Amino acid sequence: MRGLLRGLSRQAGQAPGTVGGPRAPAAGPVRLRTLVYTADACEARDQPDAQACFAAVREGAVTWINVDGLHDAQVLQAVGARFGLHPLVLEDIANPSQRPRCESTEAYLFLTLKMLRPDPSGDGLLAEQVSLIVLPGVVVTFQEAPGDVFDPVRERIRTGAGRVRAAGADYLAYALLDAVVDQYFVLLEAASEQAQALEEAALGGDPVAFVRALQAHKRELIALRRAVWPLREVLTALERTEPRVFEPATRPYLRDLYDHTIQAIDAVEVLRDVFAGVQDLHMTHVSNRMNEIMKVLTMIATVFIPLGFLAGVYGMNFERMWPVEAAWGFPALLGVMAALGLGMVVWFRRKRWL
Amino acid sequence: MRGLLRGLSRQAGQAPGTVGGPRAPAAGPVRLRTLVYTADACEARDQPDAQACFAAVREGAVTWINVDGLHDAQVLQAVGARFGLHPLVLEDIANPSQRPRCESTEAYLFLTLKMLRPDPSGDGLLAEQVSLIVLPGVVVTFQEAPGDVFDPVRERIRTGAGRVRAAGADYLAYALLDAVVDQYFVLLEAASEQAQALEEAALGGDPVAFVRALQAHKRELIALRRAVWPLREVLTALERTEPRVFEPATRPYLRDLYDHTIQAIDAVEVLRDVFAGVQDLHMTHVSNRMNEIMKVLTMIATVFIPLGFLAGVYGMNFERMWPVEAAWGFPALLGVMAALGLGMVVWFRRKRWL
Amino acid sequence: MRGLLRGLSRQAGQAPGTVGGPRAPAAGPVRLRTLVYTADACEARDQPDAQACFAAVREGAVTWINVDGLHDAQVLQAVGARFGLHPLVLEDIANPSQRPRCESTEAYLFLTLKMLRPDPSGDGLLAEQVSLIVLPGVVVTFQEAPGDVFDPVRERIRTGAGRVRAAGADYLAYALLDAVVDQYFVLLEAASEQAQALEEAALGGDPVAFVRALQAHKRELIALRRAVWPLREVLTALERTEPRVFEPATRPYLRDLYDHTIQAIDAVEVLRDVFAGVQDLHMTHVSNRMNEIMKVLTMIATVFIPLGFLAGVYGMNFERMWPVEAAWGFPALLGVMAALGLGMVVWFRRKRWL
Amino acid sequence: MRGLLRGLSRQAGQAPGTVGGPRAPAAGPVRLRTLVYTADACEARDQPDAQACFAAVREGAVTWINVDGLHDAQVLQAVGARFGLHPLVLEDIANPSQRPRCESTEAYLFLTLKMLRPDPSGDGLLAEQVSLIVLPGVVVTFQEAPGDVFDPVRERIRTGAGRVRAAGADYLAYALLDAVVDQYFVLLEAASEQAQALEEAALGGDPVAFVRALQAHKRELIALRRAVWPLREVLTALERTEPRVFEPATRPYLRDLYDHTIQAIDAVEVLRDVFAGVQDLHMTHVSNRMNEIMKVLTMIATVFIPLGFLAGVYGMNFERMWPVEAAWGFPALLGVMAALGLGMVVWFRRKRWL
Amino acid sequence: MRGLLRGLSRQAGQAPGTVGGPRAPAAGPVRLRTLVYTADACEARDQPDAQACFAAVREGAVTWINVDGLHDAQVLQAVGARFGLHPLVLEDIANPSQRPRCESTEAYLFLTLKMLRPDPSGDGLLAEQVSLIVLPGVVVTFQEAPGDVFDPVRERIRTGAGRVRAAGADYLAYALLDAVVDQYFVLLEAASEQAQALEEAALGGDPVAFVRALQAHKRELIALRRAVWPLREVLTALERTEPRVFEPATRPYLRDLYDHTIQAIDAVEVLRDVFAGVQDLHMTHVSNRMNEIMKVLTMIATVFIPLGFLAGVYGMNFERMWPVEAAWGFPALLGVMAALGLGMVVWFRRKRWL
3-state class (DSSP) for residue C48: coil
Chain A residues close to B294, C-beta within 8 Å: 294
Tell me which of E203, E210, E290, E318 to substitute to probe the interface with A (most A C-beta atoms closer than 10 Å): E290
Distance from the D13 Cα atom to the nearest Cα atom in chain E, whole angstroms: 6
* Helix H or strand E encompassing A5: none
Residue of B nearest to C286 (CA): B208
3-state class (DSSP) for residue B280: helix
Neighbours of chain A (3+ CB pairs under 8 A): B, E
How far, in Å, CA of C150 to CA of C155, rounded?
A: 9
How far, in Å, CA of E141 to CA of E258, rounded?
A: 21
Residue of B nearest to A312 (CA): B312
Residue of E nearest to D288 (CA): E291
Contacts of D71 (CB under 8 A, 6+ apart): D20, D24, D25, D26, D27, D30
Nearest to B178 by CA among A21, A18, A104, A77: A18
Chain E residues close to A309, C-beta within 8 Å: 304, 307-308, 311
Phi and psi at C120, nearest 5°, equal -60, -25
Nearest to B54 by CA among B76, B77, B83: B83
pLDDT, tens digit, for every residue of C233-290? Answer: 899 888 877 667 888 889 889 989 999 999 999 889 889 888 888 888 888 888 888 8
D138-143 and D62-68 as β-strands: parallel, antiparallel, unpaired? parallel
Per-residue confidence at A45, pLDDT binned at 50, 70, 90? very high
B1 pLDDT above the threshold of 50: no
B25 pLDDT above the threshold of 60: no
Cβ contacts below 8 Å, chain C against chain D, sum to 157
In this prediction, residue B2 carries a pLDDT of 42
Query: What are the b/e assignments for D148-178, b being 16+ CB within 10 Å?
Result: bbbebbbebbeeeebbbbebbbbbbbbbbbb
CA atoms within 13 A on the CB side of D296: 13
How far, in Å, CA of B77 to CA of B67, rounded?
A: 13
Q: Which of A301, A311, A327 sits opposite B316 (nearest CB)?
A: A311
How far, in Å, CA of A336 to CA of D10, rounded?
A: 65
A81 pLDDT above the threshold of 90: yes
- What is the torsional sign of CA A141, A146, A149, A151? positive
The alpha-carbon radius of gyration of chain E (Å, integer) is 34
Query: What are the b/e assignments for B76-90, b being 16+ CB within 10 Å?
Result: bbbbbebbebbbbbb
Q: Which of B15, B86, B290 sits opposite C252 (nearest CB)?
A: B86
3-state class (DSSP) for residue A149: coil
Q: Do A8 and B152 lie within an 8 Å CB cutoff?
A: no
Amino acid residing at C223: A
Distance from the D69 Cα atom to the nearest Cα atom in chain E, whole angstroms: 23
Nearest to A65 by CA among A87, A44, A92: A44
pLDDT, tens digit, for every residue of C136-194? Answer: 999 999 998 888 889 999 999 999 888 899 999 999 999 999 999 999 998 998 888 88
Tell me which of E97, E219, E297, E333 to substitute to probe the interface with A (most A C-beta atoms closer than 10 Å): E297
Q: Do B267 and A5 lie within an 8 Å CB cutoff?
A: yes
Q: What is the pLDDT along chain D (354 residues), one digit of tens a residue?
A: 444 555 554 455 667 777 654 444 556 789 999 999 999 999 999 999 999 999 999 989 999 999 998 888 899 999 999 999 999 999 989 988 788 989 888 889 999 999 998 877 767 788 899 999 999 999 999 998 888 889 999 999 999 888 899 999 999 999 999 999 999 998 998 888 888 888 888 887 788 888 888 888 888 888 899 899 999 989 988 887 766 788 888 988 998 999 999 989 988 988 988 888 888 888 888 888 888 888 888 888 889 989 999 998 888 888 777 777 888 888 899 999 999 999 999 998 888 876
In this prediction, residue B3 carries a pLDDT of 46
Per DSSP, E100 falls in state: S
Question: Residue B106, exposed/middle/buried by CB under 10 A (0-12, 13-18, 19+)?
Answer: exposed
B125-135 and B109-118 as β-strands: parallel, antiparallel, unpaired? antiparallel
Question: Residue D145, exposed/middle/buried by CB under 10 A (0-12, 13-18, 19+)?
Answer: middle
Mean pLDDT on A291-301: 83
Distance from the D295 Cα atom to the nearest Cα atom in chain E, whole angstroms: 11
Per-residue confidence at A3, pLDDT binned at 50, 70, 90? very low
A21 pLDDT above the threshold of 70: no
The alpha-carbon radius of gyration of chain D (Å, integer) is 34
Helix D207-240, helix D169-201: angle, nearest 10: 160
Query: If chain E, 354 residues long, is cut into consecutive pieces of 10 residues, what is the mean pLDDT of each piece?
Result: 48 65 60 94 92 92 94 91 93 86 89 88 82 94 89 92 90 94 91 87 82 87 90 88 80 90 90 87 84 82 90 86 81 91 90 77
Q: Do E280 and D211 lie within an 8 Å CB cutoff?
A: yes
How far, in Å, CA of B354 to CA of B277, rounded?
A: 29
Structural domains of chain B sorted by starting position, each given as residue range(s) with its CATH number in brackets: 17-284 (3.30.460.20), 286-350 (1.20.58)
Q: Which of A164, A288, A318 sits opposite E207 (nearest CB)?
A: A288
Chain E residues close to A273, C-beta within 8 Å: 218, 222
Distance from the C14 Cα atom to the nearest Cα atom in chain B, whole angstroms: 41
Per-residue confidence at C109, pLDDT binned at 50, 70, 90? very high
Nearest to B315 by CA among C167, E34, C312, E64: C312
Between CA B259 and CA B266, with CA B261 as vertex, the angle to 5 degrees is 95
Q: Do E12 and A186 lie within an 8 Å CB cutoff?
A: yes
Residue of C nearest to D198 (CA): C1
Residue of B nearest to C316 (CA): B315
B28 pLDDT above the threshold of 80: no
Q: Which residues pair with A247 in a beta bridge?
A: none
Contacts of C200 (CB under 8 A, 6+ apart): none
Chain C residues close to B92, C-beta within 8 Å: 256
Per-residue confidence at C61, pLDDT binned at 50, 70, 90? very high
Q: Which of D103, D301, D330 sits opposite E321 (nearest CB)?
A: D330
- Tell me the percentage of chain D whose pLDDT exceeds 90: 39
Q: Which of B222, B286, B301 sits opposite C301 (nearest CB)?
A: B301
Per-residue confidence at C20, pLDDT binned at 50, 70, 90? low
Per-residue confidence at C4, pLDDT binned at 50, 70, 90? low
Do B100 and B231 form a contact (C-beta atoms < 8 A)?
Answer: yes
Amino acid residing at D226: R
Tell me which of D131, D304, D307, D310 to substitute to probe the interface with E (most E C-beta atoms closer than 10 Å): D304
In this prediction, residue D133 carries a pLDDT of 96
A155 torsion bin: left (phi>0), alpha (psi -120 to 50), beta (else): alpha
Amino acid residing at C339: A
Distance from the E105 Cα atom to the nearest Cα atom in chain A, whole angstroms: 11
- Tell me the percentage of chain D whose pLDDT exceeds 70: 92
Q: Do E15 and A164 lie within an 8 Å CB cutoff?
A: yes
How far, in Å, CA of D292 to CA of E353, rounded?
A: 10
Do A60 and A168 form a contact (C-beta atoms < 8 A)?
Answer: no
Among A119-128, A162-171, D4-13, D138-147, name the one with the lowest average pLDDT.
Answer: D4-13
Q: Which of A211, A226, A304 sits opposite B266 (nearest CB)?
A: A226
- What is the torsional sign of CA D325, D329, D334, D338? negative
Maximum Cα–Cα distance for chain D, whole Å? 120
Q: Do D15 and E161 lie within an 8 Å CB cutoff?
A: yes
Contacts of D170 (CB under 8 A, 6+ apart): D134, D245, D246, D247, D250
B125-135 and A31-37 as β-strands: parallel, antiparallel, unpaired? unpaired
Amino acid residing at B131: S
Nearest to E263 by CA among E224, E304, E289, E237: E224
Per DSSP, B38 falls in state: -
C138-143 and C62-68 as β-strands: parallel, antiparallel, unpaired? parallel
In this prediction, residue E20 carries a pLDDT of 56
Could you check whether the bond before residue C146 is cis, i.e. omega within 30 degrees of 0? no
Do D127 and D114 form a contact (C-beta atoms < 8 A)?
Answer: yes
In this prediction, residue D5 carries a pLDDT of 56
Per DSSP, E34 falls in state: E
Confidence (pTM): 0.81
Residue of D nearest to C317 (CA): D317
Q: Strand C31-37's sheet: what is its strand order?
A: C42-47, C31-37, C62-68, C138-143, C125-135, C109-118, C101-104
In this prediction, residue C142 carries a pLDDT of 95
Nearest to E99 by CA among E6, E222, E230: E230
Do A157 and A42 form a contact (C-beta atoms < 8 A)?
Answer: yes
Nearest to E19 by CA among E96, E95, E79: E95
CA atoms within 13 A on the CB side of D27: 14
C138-143 and D42-47 as β-strands: parallel, antiparallel, unpaired? unpaired
Q: Which of B252, B284, B321 sits opposite A211 (nearest CB)?
A: B284
Q: Which of B163, B185, B281 sits opposite A12 (nearest CB)?
A: B185
How far, in Å, CA of E185 to CA of E263, rounded?
A: 9
Per DSSP, D149 falls in state: S
CA dihedral of D184, D189, D193, D194, whole degrees rounded to 10: 10
Taking CA atoms, C67 is separated from A65, C23, C145, C147, in Å, by 79, 20, 9, 11
Q: Strand A109-118's sheet: what is its strand order?
A: A42-47, A31-37, A62-68, A138-143, A125-135, A109-118, A101-104
Q: Strand D101-104's sheet: what is its strand order?
A: D42-47, D31-37, D62-68, D138-143, D125-135, D109-118, D101-104
E62-68 and E138-143 as β-strands: parallel, antiparallel, unpaired? parallel
Residue of D nearest to C97 (CA): D263
